[in-house]
Amino acid sequence: MNPHKTPVHGRDHGLNGSDPIPGIGGEISWEDVGVDQPISGDSSLNVILDGIGNPLAAGIKGDVKIDRDCTITSWTLLADVAGSIVVDIWKDTYANFPPTSADTITASARPTLASVAKATDSVLSGWTKDVSAGDTLRFNVVSAATVRRVTLELQLRPR
């Protein structure tokens, strides 16, 4: 397999199509750019916490099943207005679903807004950062004031 292949190139071909790659030599075929290829590079998981026009209230807001082994490298919170929110993240295996507060991964460094509309952290002090394929994450709003809609982004690096 040619390490210089460009996945965008494959979209112009029919099934099993191929052609030379200018300046590199070799060929790229449809199989080389198919959906079976492993995901590489950082990605983000975005969770929208929405009060549907009302201020967000404390409580569990959702669950996500993770599909690959990865490491959380940072979080970012973006709110509709300046306000406050504290979010805890709980992790457990799919077999042990649902996660509980005993399964927190954030230690005392929870994603937090304090009278602002945005915040980010890449230190993640005390966090359990590694997540395995099949783990579930649960998002719990510990407290909130003023904000009605907040996006929590977790940056994920494959491992």
SS3 32: helix
pLDDT at residue number 80: 98
Q: What is the mean pLDDT of residues 113-137?
A: 98
Mean pLDDT of the residues in the chain: 83
DSSP bridge pairs for 28: 19
Residues 6+ apart with CB under 8 A from 3: none
Using one digit for the tens of pLDDT, what is the confidence trace for 7-56?
444 444 444 444 443 443 434 333 333 344 455 689 999 999 999 999 99
Using one digit for the tens of pLDDT, what is the confidence trace for 92-102?
999 999 999 99
pTM of the model: 0.75
| Residue given tokens 């959702």 in the structure block | 62
| Residue 89 CB burial class (10 angstroms; 0-12, 13-18, ≥19) | buried
Domains and CATH numbers, the chain: 1-37 (no CATH), 43-158 (2.60.120)
HSE-CB for 32 with a 13 A CA cutoff:
19
Residue 129, pLDDT > 50, answer: yes
End-to-end CA distance of the chain: 22
pLDDT at residue number 18: 45
